[in-house]
Amino acid sequence: MNDLYEAMGSIAAAAHANGDTIDENIRPEDNQNVQHGFDIFHRSNYMRIGKRSDEQRFEITSPYTFLNVLERNHSESELAARADVDLSTLPPEEQRQAVQSVLEADLQQAEDQYEEFAEVYSQKIEPSDTDLIRITHGEDGLWNGFYVRDHLYPFEEAFSISDYRRAVSNVRKIRIQTTKLAHEVVDVLDTAGSEELSEEPPTEPQTDHQPTPPGFQ
């Protein structure tokens, strides 16, 4: 256990030295088998760092969920018109259900373009050491975005801030590229409502490792 906390301390020290913000959410465990970790903000980009019990490494992930973007892209009056109901007359839970139903219709449209996105992703996103993981929603497993994943190895003696910086830079870079691509391909996503579509941060040279096709993790 001491080795675990020392490893977390090494990551936290690297994050601090890199100018990143460590969130107060320090996890002893959660329902996704990521048992120990914490959240950070790297150049305003939210990332989760966590260790699975069966691995001697930490995952670093950055999510992008369509539901959040879609809801931001609609005013309350637009959502009410699409739901064909006066949302103000409904109890909070029924309001949430009505809005969810509208947005799930958009997710269904996104789902119809997933294969197109996967094909374009394999052609346009440069090779990197990151994985792209599909996020799903509801019983039907509708496509609700993605998260980019890389790994940290703080249990190794050679682990340094350079290793940390490479991982967070890679995750942020691929997250930005993939977000742009999703907004180009998926019709229901409005580019004006996307986030972090600005300049891409420089990263260290990459290996010849090919990116994992989305949906295969």
Cβ-based neighbours of 95, under 8 Å, separated by 6 or more: 87
Task: Please give the residue that has the higher pLDDT: either 161 or 202.
Answer: 161
Question: Is 179 inside a domain boundary?
Answer: yes
Please tell me the distance from the alpha carbon of residue 215 to that of residue 118, in angstroms, as a whole number. Answer: 8
CATH of the domain at 20: 3.30.1460.10
Question: Taken in order 174, 200, 62, 2, is the CA torsion positive or negative?
Answer: positive
> Model confidence over 13-44: pLDDT tens digits?
999 999 999 987 666 655 555 568 899 999 98
Question: Taken in order 165, 197, 40, 170, is the CA torsion positive or negative?
Answer: negative
Give the pairing type, strands 58-65 and 131-137.
unpaired
At 107 the pLDDT is: 94
Cβ atoms of residues 27 and 6 within 8 Å: no
Question: Is 102 inside a domain boundary?
Answer: no
At 31 the pLDDT is: 56
Query: Chain centroid to CA 96: how far?
Result: 23
> Model confidence over 62-79: pLDDT tens digits?
999 999 889 888 888 888
Q: How many CB atoms lie within 10 A of CB 215?
A: 16
At 211 the pLDDT is: 37
Q: How many domains does the chain have?
A: 1
Question: Which residues constitute the domain of residue 173?
Answer: 2-69+110-193
Amino acid at 62: S
Question: Which pTM value belongs to this model?
Answer: 0.79
Question: Is 77 inside a domain boundary?
Answer: no
* Residue from 128, 111, 131, 130 nearest 182 by CA: 111
Chain mean pLDDT for the chain:
83
